[in-house]
Amino acid sequence: MSAEYATFGLAPAMRAGGVLANGDYQVHRDFVDFIVDGRPLLFQLSDLDAVSPLASDIPPAIFTAHVRRLLLEAEAPLRDGRYVIYGCPECEGLDCGAVTAVIERAADGADDFVWRDFAWQTAEPADLELNGYHGIGPFRFRGAEYRTALGQLLAADEPPARRRVLLIGARVAVLAKLAAALRTIGIGAEIAADAAGVPPDELRTYGAVAFGRAVPSADRDAVRAAFDSAGVGVAYVDGLAPIIPLLVAQIEHALDRSPGDLRRLTRLAATPGTASVEVTSTCRVQLIAYRLDRLYRTHTQELLDAVLEPGEHRVPLSAKATKGESYVVARTTGSVLVAPTSA
Protein backbone atom coordinates (compact mmCIF):
# COMPACT_ATOMS: atom_id res chain seq x y z
CA MET A 1 0.00 0.00 0.00
CA SER A 2 1.23 3.49 -0.82
CA ALA A 3 2.59 5.50 2.07
CA GLU A 4 0.94 8.66 0.69
CA TYR A 5 -1.65 10.27 2.90
CA ALA A 6 -5.15 11.34 1.96
CA THR A 7 -6.86 14.17 3.77
CA PHE A 8 -10.03 13.40 5.71
CA GLY A 9 -12.92 15.69 6.50
CA LEU A 10 -16.69 15.85 6.86
CA ALA A 11 -19.33 18.12 5.34
CA PRO A 12 -23.14 18.41 5.38
CA ALA A 13 -24.84 16.73 2.45
CA MET A 14 -28.32 15.74 1.44
CA ARG A 15 -30.20 13.27 -0.68
CA ALA A 16 -32.69 15.56 -2.38
CA GLY A 17 -36.30 14.58 -1.90
CA GLY A 18 -39.02 15.58 -4.26
CA VAL A 19 -42.21 14.95 -6.16
CA LEU A 20 -41.09 13.22 -9.34
CA ALA A 21 -42.52 13.64 -12.82
CA ASN A 22 -44.27 10.25 -12.67
CA GLY A 23 -45.98 11.17 -9.39
CA ASP A 24 -43.66 9.16 -7.14
CA TYR A 25 -42.05 10.64 -4.05
CA GLN A 26 -38.37 10.60 -3.14
CA VAL A 27 -37.51 10.91 0.54
CA HIS A 28 -35.34 13.78 1.77
CA ARG A 29 -32.29 12.75 3.82
CA ASP A 30 -29.70 14.99 5.50
CA PHE A 31 -26.40 13.32 6.29
CA VAL A 32 -22.71 13.96 6.85
CA ASP A 33 -20.52 13.01 3.90
CA PHE A 34 -16.87 11.96 3.91
CA ILE A 35 -14.53 14.44 2.22
CA VAL A 36 -11.39 12.73 0.93
CA ASP A 37 -8.67 14.88 -0.60
CA GLY A 38 -11.07 17.80 -0.75
CA ARG A 39 -13.94 16.09 -2.58
CA PRO A 40 -16.93 14.03 -1.43
CA LEU A 41 -16.08 10.35 -1.54
CA LEU A 42 -19.60 9.70 -2.85
CA PHE A 43 -18.69 11.50 -6.09
CA GLN A 44 -16.08 8.83 -6.85
CA LEU A 45 -18.84 6.22 -6.96
CA SER A 46 -20.41 7.51 -10.18
CA ASP A 47 -24.17 8.01 -9.89
CA LEU A 48 -24.91 6.24 -6.63
CA ASP A 49 -28.12 7.13 -4.81
CA ALA A 50 -26.95 6.56 -1.24
CA VAL A 51 -26.27 8.23 2.11
CA SER A 52 -23.62 7.69 4.75
CA PRO A 53 -24.55 6.08 8.09
CA LEU A 54 -24.19 9.54 9.65
CA ALA A 55 -27.74 10.67 8.87
CA SER A 56 -29.41 13.40 10.89
CA ASP A 57 -32.76 11.65 11.25
CA ILE A 58 -31.57 8.54 13.07
CA PRO A 59 -31.74 8.33 16.89
CA PRO A 60 -28.76 9.95 18.69
CA ALA A 61 -27.66 6.65 20.24
CA ILE A 62 -27.47 4.97 16.83
CA PHE A 63 -25.70 8.00 15.32
CA THR A 64 -23.12 7.86 18.12
CA ALA A 65 -22.66 4.13 17.59
CA HIS A 66 -21.87 4.70 13.91
CA VAL A 67 -19.29 7.36 14.79
CA ARG A 68 -17.62 5.10 17.34
CA ARG A 69 -17.46 2.28 14.83
CA LEU A 70 -15.65 4.54 12.37
CA LEU A 71 -13.24 5.39 15.20
CA LEU A 72 -12.72 1.64 15.73
CA GLU A 73 -14.10 1.96 19.25
CA ALA A 74 -16.80 -0.65 18.50
CA GLU A 75 -16.98 -3.91 16.60
CA ALA A 76 -17.43 -3.89 12.85
CA PRO A 77 -21.05 -4.59 11.87
CA LEU A 78 -20.06 -6.91 9.00
CA ARG A 79 -17.69 -9.83 8.58
CA ASP A 80 -13.97 -9.42 7.94
CA GLY A 81 -13.81 -6.02 9.61
CA ARG A 82 -16.05 -4.35 7.05
CA TYR A 83 -18.04 -1.18 7.68
CA VAL A 84 -20.89 0.43 5.76
CA ILE A 85 -19.69 3.62 4.10
CA TYR A 86 -22.85 4.37 2.08
CA GLY A 87 -26.22 2.66 2.16
CA CYS A 88 -29.73 2.86 0.74
CA PRO A 89 -31.46 6.17 1.58
CA GLU A 90 -34.82 4.43 1.96
CA CYS A 91 -33.96 1.54 4.27
CA GLU A 92 -31.23 -0.22 6.25
CA GLY A 93 -29.39 -3.47 5.70
CA LEU A 94 -27.66 -5.03 2.72
CA ASP A 95 -30.76 -6.07 0.75
CA CYS A 96 -30.67 -2.96 -1.42
CA GLY A 97 -26.87 -2.94 -1.51
CA ALA A 98 -24.26 -0.86 0.29
CA VAL A 99 -20.75 0.41 -0.25
CA THR A 100 -18.54 -1.20 2.37
CA ALA A 101 -14.84 -1.12 3.19
CA VAL A 102 -12.35 -2.49 5.65
CA ILE A 103 -11.36 0.11 8.26
CA GLU A 104 -8.27 -0.66 10.30
CA ARG A 105 -5.22 0.77 12.00
CA ALA A 106 -2.10 1.13 9.87
CA ALA A 107 -0.14 -2.11 9.81
CA ASP A 108 3.22 -0.36 10.36
CA GLY A 109 2.23 0.79 13.85
CA ALA A 110 1.74 4.47 12.96
CA ASP A 111 -1.19 6.38 14.43
CA ASP A 112 -3.09 6.23 11.17
CA PHE A 113 -6.42 4.87 9.93
CA VAL A 114 -6.76 2.99 6.66
CA TRP A 115 -9.85 2.49 4.49
CA ARG A 116 -9.32 -0.26 1.90
CA ASP A 117 -11.02 -2.92 -0.21
CA PHE A 118 -14.11 -0.94 -1.16
CA ALA A 119 -16.92 -3.08 -2.54
CA TRP A 120 -20.60 -3.06 -3.45
CA GLN A 121 -22.09 -5.55 -1.03
CA THR A 122 -25.54 -7.16 -1.02
CA ALA A 123 -24.78 -10.18 1.18
CA GLU A 124 -22.10 -11.67 3.39
CA PRO A 125 -19.27 -12.09 2.62
CA ALA A 126 -18.19 -9.33 0.20
CA ASP A 127 -17.01 -10.55 -3.22
CA LEU A 128 -14.08 -8.24 -3.97
CA GLU A 129 -13.24 -9.85 -7.29
CA LEU A 130 -16.76 -9.46 -8.66
CA ASN A 131 -18.00 -6.32 -6.86
CA GLY A 132 -14.89 -4.51 -5.69
CA TYR A 133 -14.29 -0.83 -6.46
CA HIS A 134 -10.81 -1.48 -7.79
CA GLY A 135 -10.07 2.15 -8.65
CA ILE A 136 -10.90 3.57 -5.20
CA GLY A 137 -8.47 3.56 -2.29
CA PRO A 138 -6.78 2.47 -0.25
CA PHE A 139 -6.83 5.71 1.73
CA ARG A 140 -4.51 6.36 4.64
CA PHE A 141 -5.59 9.12 7.03
CA ARG A 142 -3.54 10.76 9.75
CA GLY A 143 -4.92 9.68 13.10
CA ALA A 144 -5.21 13.13 14.68
CA GLU A 145 -7.04 14.62 11.68
CA TYR A 146 -9.36 11.62 11.45
CA ARG A 147 -10.26 11.54 15.14
CA THR A 148 -10.76 15.30 15.33
CA ALA A 149 -13.21 15.34 12.42
CA LEU A 150 -15.30 12.46 13.74
CA GLY A 151 -15.01 13.55 17.36
CA GLN A 152 -16.72 16.84 16.56
CA LEU A 153 -19.87 14.90 15.68
CA LEU A 154 -20.06 13.67 19.25
CA ALA A 155 -20.22 17.19 20.68
CA ALA A 156 -23.28 17.60 22.88
CA ASP A 157 -24.15 20.98 21.39
CA GLU A 158 -24.23 19.79 17.79
CA PRO A 159 -27.30 21.54 16.30
CA PRO A 160 -29.88 19.27 14.66
CA ALA A 161 -30.84 19.73 11.05
CA ARG A 162 -33.86 22.03 10.84
CA ARG A 163 -36.07 20.15 8.42
CA ARG A 164 -39.19 22.20 9.00
CA VAL A 165 -40.67 24.83 6.71
CA LEU A 166 -43.13 27.62 7.49
CA LEU A 167 -45.56 28.14 4.61
CA ILE A 168 -47.20 31.55 4.21
CA GLY A 169 -49.59 32.36 1.39
CA ALA A 170 -53.07 33.33 0.31
CA ARG A 171 -54.16 30.09 -1.39
CA VAL A 172 -54.83 27.68 1.47
CA ALA A 173 -55.61 24.77 -0.88
CA VAL A 174 -52.20 25.08 -2.54
CA LEU A 175 -50.46 25.38 0.83
CA ALA A 176 -52.25 22.28 2.12
CA LYS A 177 -51.14 20.23 -0.90
CA LEU A 178 -47.60 21.56 -0.57
CA ALA A 179 -47.48 20.74 3.16
CA ALA A 180 -48.72 17.21 2.47
CA ALA A 181 -46.09 16.68 -0.23
CA LEU A 182 -43.30 17.96 2.02
CA ARG A 183 -44.36 15.75 4.92
CA THR A 184 -44.48 12.75 2.61
CA ILE A 185 -40.80 13.19 1.71
CA GLY A 186 -39.75 13.76 5.33
CA ILE A 187 -39.86 17.55 5.70
CA GLY A 188 -42.07 19.07 8.37
CA ALA A 189 -44.35 21.87 7.20
CA GLU A 190 -46.76 24.23 8.95
CA ILE A 191 -49.12 26.79 7.45
CA ALA A 192 -49.51 30.25 8.99
CA ALA A 193 -50.72 33.70 8.06
CA ASP A 194 -47.64 35.32 9.62
CA ALA A 195 -45.01 34.82 12.34
CA ALA A 196 -46.41 37.30 14.85
CA GLY A 197 -46.52 35.97 18.38
CA VAL A 198 -44.63 32.77 17.60
CA PRO A 199 -42.15 32.05 20.44
CA PRO A 200 -38.45 32.33 19.47
CA ASP A 201 -37.83 28.70 20.44
CA GLU A 202 -40.38 27.58 17.89
CA LEU A 203 -38.99 29.87 15.19
CA ARG A 204 -35.61 28.23 15.72
CA THR A 205 -37.01 24.90 14.57
CA TYR A 206 -37.53 26.16 11.01
CA GLY A 207 -34.92 25.93 8.29
CA ALA A 208 -36.88 27.85 5.67
CA VAL A 209 -39.88 30.10 5.12
CA ALA A 210 -41.77 29.85 1.83
CA PHE A 211 -43.95 32.72 0.61
CA GLY A 212 -46.72 32.42 -1.92
CA ARG A 213 -46.35 34.95 -4.69
CA ALA A 214 -49.51 36.80 -3.60
CA VAL A 215 -48.05 37.65 -0.16
CA PRO A 216 -47.53 41.46 0.02
CA SER A 217 -44.03 42.85 0.58
CA ALA A 218 -45.03 44.34 3.93
CA ASP A 219 -46.12 40.92 5.21
CA ARG A 220 -42.87 39.35 4.03
CA ASP A 221 -40.87 42.04 5.78
CA ALA A 222 -42.79 41.46 9.02
CA VAL A 223 -42.00 37.74 8.92
CA ARG A 224 -38.33 38.44 8.30
CA ALA A 225 -38.31 40.89 11.20
CA ALA A 226 -39.81 38.27 13.53
CA PHE A 227 -37.06 35.78 12.67
CA ASP A 228 -34.38 38.48 12.94
CA SER A 229 -35.64 39.48 16.39
CA ALA A 230 -35.40 35.85 17.48
CA GLY A 231 -31.85 35.64 16.14
CA VAL A 232 -32.79 32.90 13.70
CA GLY A 233 -31.20 32.64 10.29
CA VAL A 234 -33.46 30.85 7.80
CA ALA A 235 -33.65 30.54 4.04
CA TYR A 236 -36.47 32.49 2.39
CA VAL A 237 -38.21 31.06 -0.65
CA ASP A 238 -40.32 33.18 -2.99
CA GLY A 239 -42.68 30.69 -4.59
CA LEU A 240 -42.51 30.92 -8.36
CA ALA A 241 -45.88 29.39 -9.20
CA PRO A 242 -48.65 27.24 -7.64
CA ILE A 243 -47.07 24.04 -8.99
CA ILE A 244 -46.40 21.56 -6.16
CA PRO A 245 -43.34 19.73 -7.60
CA LEU A 246 -41.80 23.09 -8.50
CA LEU A 247 -42.32 24.52 -5.01
CA VAL A 248 -40.97 21.35 -3.40
CA ALA A 249 -37.84 21.67 -5.56
CA GLN A 250 -37.39 25.31 -4.50
CA ILE A 251 -37.67 24.35 -0.83
CA GLU A 252 -35.28 21.40 -1.24
CA HIS A 253 -32.70 23.77 -2.71
CA ALA A 254 -33.21 26.22 0.14
CA LEU A 255 -32.65 23.48 2.74
CA ASP A 256 -29.40 22.30 1.16
CA ARG A 257 -26.66 22.94 3.75
CA SER A 258 -23.82 21.41 1.74
CA PRO A 259 -21.00 23.77 0.70
CA GLY A 260 -21.57 25.17 -2.77
CA ASP A 261 -18.21 23.96 -4.06
CA LEU A 262 -19.00 20.38 -2.99
CA ARG A 263 -22.22 20.03 -4.96
CA ARG A 264 -22.69 18.05 -8.13
CA LEU A 265 -25.22 20.42 -9.66
CA THR A 266 -23.87 23.97 -9.72
CA ARG A 267 -25.79 25.95 -12.34
CA LEU A 268 -29.06 25.97 -14.25
CA ALA A 269 -30.29 28.55 -16.73
CA ALA A 270 -33.19 28.38 -19.15
CA THR A 271 -34.51 30.33 -22.13
CA PRO A 272 -37.52 29.47 -24.29
CA GLY A 273 -35.19 27.50 -26.58
CA THR A 274 -32.40 26.07 -24.41
CA ALA A 275 -31.62 24.86 -20.92
CA SER A 276 -28.02 24.97 -19.71
CA VAL A 277 -26.93 22.80 -16.79
CA GLU A 278 -23.49 22.41 -15.20
CA VAL A 279 -22.29 19.45 -13.11
CA THR A 280 -18.98 18.89 -11.31
CA SER A 281 -18.85 15.07 -11.48
CA THR A 282 -20.36 12.26 -13.50
CA CYS A 283 -23.98 11.83 -12.42
CA ARG A 284 -27.52 11.23 -13.57
CA VAL A 285 -29.38 14.45 -14.31
CA GLN A 286 -33.10 14.85 -14.83
CA LEU A 287 -34.54 17.98 -16.44
CA ILE A 288 -38.27 18.58 -16.16
CA ALA A 289 -40.30 21.47 -17.56
CA TYR A 290 -43.43 22.76 -15.81
CA ARG A 291 -45.80 25.34 -17.23
CA LEU A 292 -49.14 26.90 -16.45
CA ASP A 293 -51.70 27.40 -19.19
CA ARG A 294 -54.27 30.20 -19.35
CA LEU A 295 -56.59 28.23 -17.06
CA TYR A 296 -53.79 27.71 -14.50
CA ARG A 297 -53.56 24.02 -15.26
CA THR A 298 -50.13 22.42 -14.79
CA HIS A 299 -48.36 20.69 -17.69
CA THR A 300 -45.25 18.58 -17.18
CA GLN A 301 -42.68 17.43 -19.72
CA GLU A 302 -39.53 15.40 -19.09
CA LEU A 303 -36.69 16.97 -21.06
CA LEU A 304 -33.70 14.84 -20.10
CA ASP A 305 -32.83 11.78 -18.03
CA ALA A 306 -29.21 10.85 -18.66
CA VAL A 307 -25.80 10.40 -17.07
CA LEU A 308 -23.74 13.50 -17.81
CA GLU A 309 -19.99 14.03 -17.64
CA PRO A 310 -18.53 16.99 -15.71
CA GLY A 311 -18.98 20.33 -17.43
CA GLU A 312 -21.72 22.42 -19.02
CA HIS A 313 -24.45 20.80 -21.08
CA ARG A 314 -27.09 22.40 -23.29
CA VAL A 315 -30.47 20.81 -23.85
CA PRO A 316 -32.90 22.09 -26.52
CA LEU A 317 -36.37 23.00 -25.28
CA SER A 318 -39.44 22.65 -27.44
CA ALA A 319 -41.83 25.55 -27.87
CA LYS A 320 -44.59 23.43 -26.33
CA ALA A 321 -42.60 22.83 -23.13
CA THR A 322 -41.94 26.52 -22.53
CA LYS A 323 -45.11 28.11 -23.85
CA GLY A 324 -46.39 30.84 -21.54
CA GLU A 325 -45.37 30.77 -17.88
CA SER A 326 -42.83 27.97 -17.59
CA TYR A 327 -39.99 26.71 -15.41
CA VAL A 328 -37.26 24.08 -15.55
CA VAL A 329 -36.16 21.85 -12.66
CA ALA A 330 -32.77 20.10 -12.72
CA ARG A 331 -32.29 17.22 -10.30
CA THR A 332 -29.49 14.91 -9.26
CA THR A 333 -29.52 12.54 -6.29
CA GLY A 334 -27.86 15.17 -4.10
CA SER A 335 -29.13 18.52 -5.29
CA VAL A 336 -31.84 20.33 -7.19
CA LEU A 337 -32.08 23.68 -8.98
CA VAL A 338 -34.98 25.66 -10.43
CA ALA A 339 -34.94 28.28 -13.19
CA PRO A 340 -37.72 30.21 -14.94
CA THR A 341 -37.56 30.35 -18.71
CA SER A 342 -36.80 33.90 -19.71
CA ALA A 343 -37.14 35.57 -23.07
**Mean of pLDDT values over 19-37:** 89
- The CB density around residue 296, as the number of other CB atoms within 10 Å, is 10
Cis peptide before 138 (omega within 30 of 0): yes
For 186-218, write each residue's pLDDT tens digit: 999 999 988 887 888 888 889 999 999 999 999
Residue 161 pLDDT exceeds 70: no
The better pLDDT of the pair 342, 195 is held by 195
Please check whether residues 111 and 228 belong to one and the same domain. Answer: no
**Mean of pLDDT values over 272-278:** 93
Residue 21 pLDDT exceeds 90: no
Last residue of a domain, one of 125, 155, 185: 155
Residue 66 pLDDT exceeds 60: yes
Residue 157 pLDDT exceeds 60: no
Question: Cα angle at 155 between 85 and 8, to 5 degrees?
Answer: 40
CATH of the domain at 318: 2.60.40
Please check whether residues 167 and 150 belong to one and the same domain. Answer: no
112-121 β-sheet, strand order: 82-87, 98-105, 112-121, 139-142
Please check whether residues 64 and 92 belong to one and the same domain. Answer: yes
pLDDT at 338: 96
Please check whether residues 199 and 122 belong to one and the same domain. Answer: no
CATH of the domain at 227: 3.40.50.10330
> Is 265 part of any domain?
yes
> Is 253 part of any domain?
no
Mean pLDDT check: name the lowest of 45-59, 109-123, 263-277. Answer: 45-59
**Mean of pLDDT values over 116-142:** 91
**207 close to 276: Cβ distance less than 8 angstroms:** no
Please check whether residues 9 and 142 belong to one and the same domain. Answer: yes
Mean pLDDT check: name the lowest of 88-97, 127-136, 205-214. Answer: 88-97
Residue 51 pLDDT exceeds 50: yes
Please check whether residues 170 and 151 belong to one and the same domain. Answer: no
Q: Which residues in 27-81 belong to E strands, given as ranges?
A: 29-36, 39-40
Please check whether residues 190 and 166 belong to one and the same domain. Answer: yes
> Is 251 part of any domain?
no
How confident is residue 2, by pLDDT bands cut at 50, 70 and 90? very low
Residue 56 pLDDT exceeds 80: yes
Last residue of a domain, one of 136, 155, 174: 155
Which domain does 104 fall in, by range? 5-155
Please check whether residues 131 and 13 belong to one and the same domain. Answer: yes
What's the whole-model pTM score?
0.88
Distance CA 91, CA 183 (A): 18
Please check whether residues 189 and 292 belong to one and the same domain. Answer: no
Residue 165 pLDDT exceeds 90: yes
> Is 247 part of any domain?
no
pLDDT at 3: 56
State how many domains the chain has.
3
Phi, psi of 202 (to 5 degrees): -75, -40
For 300-334, write each residue's pLDDT tens digit: 999 999 999 999 999 999 888 888 889 999 999 88
For 106-115, write each residue's pLDDT tens digit: 988 789 999 9
For 135-148, write each residue's pLDDT tens digit: 898 999 999 999 99
Please check whether residues 190 and 90 belong to one and the same domain. Answer: no
Last residue of a domain, one of 242, 274, 295: 242
**Mean of pLDDT values over 286-296:** 91
Please check whether residues 129 and 185 belong to one and the same domain. Answer: no
